[in-house]
């Protein structure tokens, strides 16, 4: 028994020294052994170490199998570690946290962190994959792939895999939600990142717009309706799942400039506590890029495309169709042709169909809890396919400032809820179209008044501005009327000249009719009837 033990120990120590020598000579082996053998040796050494070592490794990489986006699990681990264990690490990284007021601590790369769970000790190693110097790679992304390695004793295997990892995931997610600094994203200009780089397609800043529904001037009933709609959307994850719809909602905000469309978006984001992705469509080159942008957005977000009528050429599809037809007509020879510069240009544009796919194609169901908002000053210019219900579920018209909206502004800007001048302002606002932006501008204290907010002066200033706008509007209407009358006159004149040139006799043809004998007669407006031959004679002379 004793001997057996000794022998055992002896064989273990021989094994050790063998292992040590393998490790010592590893670099030499590595350089002088053919690739196939080296591969085999590597596997063997790995096997040996894992057989001898009682520790297990789990790797969580930043980009898992989903090549398109960062792994949720990785992000959760990051959040969990910074929350639960950062204080125990010796090298930390500090960033500005929520609202840029608090400091957020995370674990620096290559810092070992220990955690304990249910009596087990777990080591975490955040690290980066070293650049592969001896491999020429077309994918620089491999160079800076970050990952977390988790090490634990194998007797805790079940505990770690079945209980600890789910715990990390849940905690990490909860921490992320708690520390969430809402962000305003914008898409990067094309070409600023190489197609393979891991630099995200969006860049962001903290979202700090102060607008709320309380400060938004609009009809109270409309405002309540929108608030109800948003609340219902936020709380109806299960409903969307049960009816088989992707959990997203489209809003179309339309109306003249300065009526609060952008302000409304900020208010919505603040109300729902969502991130905002401001998508600059003119900077997106292709439909594929558009899809990539969509996939990289997270849930709980509002995706905004401002001035949709200006940013996508909705006729692009049709004109390229036409071009195709034309060029195929001209192509007599069967030789394949390279695409011309212009063709390439067409192909690289975002098209209407690409945009429709973006909103409700299959990919749009990824993630969920997204609101898509389009704004426009000209709803009538938009393709009906783009704004049909189901794509843009709610159409909100933001219009000129009426009295109810004015009251909100007066309260916000002047702190006044009642005033003698309100009656007159009400009357004026009813007949004059002034945008809330202009009204607000008039309620701001002017430099000439000093810093003091004087409601009387401000309101009087507003009345003056409204009266001025009224006069201007009346003048503009008059000018327009005159122009229209002139145009009509000219059109009539032109028509007359055309008719005469075409040889038609004025004052004729109230109606044409054919008699039984085959002669054609014309009845003029004055009731004179003559045969067409006669009319022809008249035109000639
Ligand atoms: N309904 C409103 N309530 C409160 N403030 C408003 C409202 N409408 C406009 N404003 C004020 O006017 C400014 C301009 O409004 P905003 O940018 O929201 O207009 P918009 O409708 O987006 O205009 P555009 O069509 O030119 O983009 C805002 O900074 C805001 O202070
Ligand atoms: Mg705007």
Residues with Cβ within 8 Å of residue 374, at least 6 apart in sequence: 250, 251, 252, 253, 304, 305, 308, 386, 387, 392
Pocket of ligand 1 (CB under 6 A): 215-218, 257-263, 377, 398, 436-437, 440
pLDDT of residue 339: 44
Average pLDDT over residues 400-424: 92
Q: Residue 443 Cα, ligand 1 centroid: separation in angstroms?
A: 14
* Higher-scoring residue by pLDDT: 509, 98: 98
User: Residue 296 and residue 356: Cα distance in Å, rounded?
Assistant: 18
Residue with CA closest to ligand 1 atom 10: 437
Q: Residue 436 Cα, ligand 1 centroid: separation in angstroms?
A: 7
Are 316 and 352 a contacting pair, CB within 8 Å? yes
> With bands split at pLDDT 50, 70 and 90, how would you rate the model's confidence at 5?
very low
Average pLDDT over residues 352-371: 81
> With bands split at pLDDT 50, 70 and 90, how would you rate the model's confidence at 57?
confident
pLDDT surpasses 90 at 483: yes
Average pLDDT over residues 233-246: 89
The yes/no answer to whether this complex scores an ipTM above 0.90 is yes
Residue with CA closest to ligand 1 atom 13: 437
Strands 275-278 and 183-187: parallel
* Higher-scoring residue by pLDDT: 472, 519: 472
Determine if residue 335 is left, alpha or beta; phi over 0 gives left, psi from -120 to 50 gives alpha, anything else beta.
Answer: beta
Pocket test for ligand 1, best of 223, 262, 438 (most atoms within 8 A of CB): 262
Are 253 and 226 a contacting pair, CB within 8 Å? no
Are 92 and 105 a contacting pair, CB within 8 Å? yes
Average pLDDT over residues 406-419: 91
pLDDT (tens digit, 9 = 90+) per residue, 322-344? 444 444 444 444 444 444 444 44
Average pLDDT over residues 428-438: 92
Strands 183-187 and 202-206: antiparallel
pLDDT surpasses 80 at 67: no
296-300, 307-311, 390-394, 427-431 — most confident range: 427-431
Q: Residue 440 Cα, ligand 1 centroid: separation in angstroms?
A: 9
pLDDT surpasses 70 at 491: yes
CA distances (Å), origin 520, targets 499, 503, 528: 20, 17, 14
Q: What percent of the chain has pLDDT over 70?
A: 70
Lowest mean pLDDT segment, chosen from 94-98, 344-348, 381-385, 394-398: 344-348
pLDDT of residue 524: 61
> With bands split at pLDDT 50, 70 and 90, how would you rate the model's confidence at 518?
low
| Among the listed residues 318, 229, 221, the one whose alpha carbon sits nearest the alpha carbon of residue 271 | 229
pLDDT surpasses 90 at 403: yes
Are 439 and 409 a contacting pair, CB within 8 Å? yes
* Higher-scoring residue by pLDDT: 109, 470: 470
pLDDT surpasses 70 at 503: no
SS3 169: helix
pLDDT (tens digit, 9 = 90+) per residue, 365-374? 777 789 999 9
Residues with Cβ within 8 Å of residue 149, at least 6 apart in sequence: 57, 58, 59, 60, 124, 125, 127
Are 181 and 269 a contacting pair, CB within 8 Å? no
Ligand nearest to the CA of 404: 1
pLDDT of residue 340: 45
Average pLDDT over residues 356-366: 78
pLDDT of residue 131: 53
Q: What percent of the chain has pLDDT over 90?
A: 27
CA distances (Å), origin 195, targets 138, 232, 292, 350: 11, 39, 11, 18
What tokens does 463 get?
A: 């009345």
> Cα torsion at 460, 463, 465, 469 (round to 10°)?
-170
User: Residue 96 and residue 541: Cα distance in Å, rounded?
Assistant: 93
Question: What is the torsional sign of CA 445, 450, 452, 454?
Answer: negative
Pocket test for ligand 1, best of 265, 304, 436 (most atoms within 8 A of CB): 436
SS3 23: helix
H helices within 148-282, ranges in order? 157-158, 165-178, 220-234, 237-243, 261-272
User: Residue 304 and residue 299: Cα distance in Å, rounded?
Assistant: 14
Cβ atoms within 10 Å, residue 439: 23
pLDDT (tens digit, 9 = 90+) per residue, 141-176? 444 677 888 899 888 989 999 999 999 998 888 887
H helices within 1-126, ranges in order? 2-32, 35-52, 72-84
What tokens does 257 get?
A: 């400039």
pLDDT of residue 199: 59
The overall average pLDDT reported for the chain is 78
| Among the listed residues 269, 277, 63, the one whose alpha carbon sits nearest the alpha carbon of residue 188 | 277
Are 204 and 299 a contacting pair, CB within 8 Å? no
Determine if residue 367 is left, alpha or beta; phi over 0 gives left, psi from -120 to 50 gives alpha, anything else beta.
Answer: left
pLDDT of residue 259: 94
| Among the listed residues 233, 271, 273, 227, the one whose alpha carbon sits nearest the alpha carbon of residue 250 | 233
Sketch out the chain's domains with CATH numbers: 1-53 (no CATH), 54-131+142-181 (no CATH), 185-319+347-397 (3.40.50.300), 403-487 (no CATH), 511-540 (no CATH)
Q: Residue 398 Cα, ligand 1 centroid: separation in angstroms?
A: 10
71-85, 88-102, 220-234, 312-326 — most confident range: 220-234
- Alpha-carbon Rg for the chain in angstroms: 37
Strands 370-376 and 248-254: parallel
* Higher-scoring residue by pLDDT: 8, 126: 126
Strands 394-397 and 511-514: unpaired
Average pLDDT over residues 10-35: 68
User: Residue 389 and residue 374: Cα distance in Å, rounded?
Assistant: 13
pLDDT of residue 172: 87
Chain centre to alpha carbon of residue 224: 25
* Nearest atom of ligand 1 to the alpha carbon of 377: 25
User: Residue 83 and residue 87: Cα distance in Å, rounded?
Assistant: 8
Element (H, E) at 479: helix 455-501
Query: Residue 479, class by beta-carbon neighbours within 10 Å (0-12 exposed, 13-18 middle, 19+ buried)?
Result: exposed
Are 76 and 168 a contacting pair, CB within 8 Å? yes
pLDDT of residue 118: 87
């Amino acid at each position: 028994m004793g001997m057996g033990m000794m022998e055992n120990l002896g064989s273990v120590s021989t094994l050790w020294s063998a292992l040590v020598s393998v490790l010592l000579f590893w670099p030499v082996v590595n350089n002088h052994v053919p690739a196939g053998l080296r591969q085999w040796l590597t596997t063997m050494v790995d096997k040996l170490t894992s057989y001898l070592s009682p520790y297990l490794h789990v790797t969580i990489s930043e980009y898992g199998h989903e090549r398109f986006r960062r792994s949720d699990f990785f992000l959760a681990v990051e959040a969990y570690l910074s929350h639960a264990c950062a204080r125990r690490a010796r090298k930390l990284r500090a960033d500005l946290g929520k609202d840029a007021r608090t400091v957020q601590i995370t674990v620096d790369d290559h810092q070992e962190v220990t955690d304990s769970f249910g009596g087990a000790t777990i080591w975490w190693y955040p690290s980066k994959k070293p650049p592969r110097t001896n491999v020429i790679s077309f994918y620089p992304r491999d160079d800076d792939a970050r990952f977390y390695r988790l090490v634990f004793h194998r007797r805790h295997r079940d505990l770690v895999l079945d209980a600890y990892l789910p715990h990390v995931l849940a905690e990490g997610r909860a921490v992320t939600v708690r520390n969430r600094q809402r962000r305003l994203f914008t898409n990067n200009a094309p070409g600023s990142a190489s197609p393979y780089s891991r630099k995200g397609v969006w860049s962001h800043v903290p979202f700090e717009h102060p607008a709320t529904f309380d400060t938004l001037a609009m009809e109270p009933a409309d405002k309540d309706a929108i608030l109800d709609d948003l609340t219902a959307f936020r709380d109806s994850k299960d409903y969307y799942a049960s009816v088989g719809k992707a959990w997203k909602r489209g809003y179309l905000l339309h109306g003249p400039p300065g009526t609060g469309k952008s302000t409304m978006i900020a208010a919505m984001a603040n109300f729902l506590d969502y991130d905002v992705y401001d998508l600059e469509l003119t900077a997106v080159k292709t439909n594929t890029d558009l899809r990539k942008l969509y996939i990289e957005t997270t849930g709980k977000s509002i995706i905004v495309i401002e001035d949709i009528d200006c940013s996508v050429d909705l006729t692009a599809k049709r004109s390229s169709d036409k071009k195709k037809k034309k060029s195929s007509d001209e192509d007599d020879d069967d030789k394949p042709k390279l695409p011309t510069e212009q063709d390439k240009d067409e192909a690289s544009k975002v098209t209407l169909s690409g945009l429709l796919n973006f909103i409700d194609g299959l990919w749009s169901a990824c993630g969920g809890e997204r609101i898509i908002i389009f704004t426009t000053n000209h709803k009538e210019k938009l393709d009906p396919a783009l704004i049909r219900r189901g794509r843009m579920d709610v159409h909100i018209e933001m219009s000129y400032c009426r009295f109810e909206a004015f009251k909100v502004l007066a309260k916000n800007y002047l702190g006044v809820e009642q005033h003698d001048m309100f009656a007159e302002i009400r009357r004026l606002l009813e007949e004059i179209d002034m945008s809330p932006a202009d009204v607000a501008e008039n309620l701001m204290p002017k430099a000439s008044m000093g810093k003091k907010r004087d409601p009387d002066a401000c309101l009087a200033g507003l009345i003056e501005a409204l009266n001025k706008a009224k006069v201007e509007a009346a003048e503009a209407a008059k000018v327009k009327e005159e122009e229209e009358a002139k145009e009509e006159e000219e059109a009539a004149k032109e028509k007359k000249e055309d008719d005469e040139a075409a040889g038609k006799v004025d004052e004729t043809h109230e109606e044409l009719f054919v008699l039984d004998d085959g002669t054609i007669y014309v009845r003029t407006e004055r009731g004179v009837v003559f045969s067409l031959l006669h009319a022809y004679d008249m035109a000639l002379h």
